Structure 1
Amino acid sequence: MENIKTIHIGSFIQKRVSESNIRITRICNFFDCGEKEINQIYMSPALNSDYLLKWCKLLDYDFFRLYSQHLILYSPPAPFKHPYVSKVKKSALPQFRKSIYTKEIIYFILKLIETNKKTKSQIIDDYKIPKTTLYKWIAKYKNSEDS
């Protein structure tokens, strides 16, 4: 997994285009623009979400997941909530659990431990992964490597 601490979406799109072997003429027709505009997109560090959604559909790749994984790894921890105060703010927006980890995230974390780049306690502190979750990953994925 690539470093997603800083996301330059244009370069990720360009990599996916080259992997997919999609011709520039098809891309230009899809977006109703010229090759010059497509090359400008490759240089763009950010894109409009509607435009990014079109790229996801064209290239059959979820570019939004790059941002989700970034949030999982690099967002600040939730503020401390007093256990006796239960003011739950309701929202009309859909609620997502932050603790949904993809296999790429799990392998990234386990590789940090395996290569001694970070200790288990550093990972728990830095990424706010619960201790029990980390140890379950280690047990589960170590057993799957052995087989």
Structure 2
Amino acid sequence: MLYKEIHIGKFIKERVDESKITIERICKFLNRDEDAVEDMYTNTSMDTDLLLRWSKLLEYDFFRLYSSHLILYAPPSAVGKNQQKSDKIPYFRKNIYTQEIKDFIMKRILSGEMTQNDVIKEYSIPKSTLHRWLQKTDNTNG
């Protein structure tokens, strides 16, 4: 599954291939040699500063992969517990679903891979939210 296991190096390599950016430009932008860049493609994780630089260079938000993972796979019991709003750091609501998340969920339902109840249980998506997505899908297809 796309969001369950994140191998950030593979995602970066795919984006590099799509973008057709030269290794010279990558090395210069990241201030690394070619071997170090090639090693990054094999990493399952990396430093956030480096990931931010990759995101800027490749014009792709790699952090969204992790946000999507949290939306889909964070245990429901963890939602709201031990969370205190702070003025010092931004607070993000869990119930903001990206279009990629919606498409991922709808694909699983429409293909028969999961039922609506399976989705509600596994991903803690409210029933009303899921029905709204289904209605929008019906309206665009019909």
Q: Normalising by structure 1, what TM-score? A: 0.89
**Residues 96-141 of structure 1: per-residue CA shift (max 9 Å, x gap):** 0101111111111111111111111111111000000000000012
Which of 130, 138, 143 is the aligned partner of 2:139?
143
Question: Equivalent pairs: percent with the same residue?
Answer: 48
Which of 80, 85, 91 is the aligned partner of 1:90?
85
CA distance in 2, matches of 1:88, 1:39: 39
Change (3 A) 1:113 1:101: same
1:31 CA drift (Å): 1.4
- The residue number in structure 1 matching 2:21 is 22
| Structure number with bigger Rg | 1
1:89 CA drift (Å): 2.9
Change (3 A) 1:51 1:80: closer
- The residue number in structure 2 matching 1:3 is 2
Q: Normalising by structure 2, what TM-score? A: 0.92
Q: Give 1:10-49 correspondences, 5 Å limit.
A: 10-49=9-48
Letter in 2 for 1:39: E
- Judge conservation of contact 2:85–2:91 (CA < 8 Å) in 1: no
CA distance in 1, matches of 2:41, 2:74: 26
Q: Does 1:106 align with 2:105?
A: no
Q: Which runs of 5+ in 1 are unaligned?
A: 82-86
Change (3 A) 1:19 1:78: same
Q: Which moved more, 1:131-140 or 1:31-40?
A: 31-40
- The residue number in structure 1 matching 2:120 is 124
CA distance in 1, matches of 2:27, 2:20: 14
RMSD: 1.8
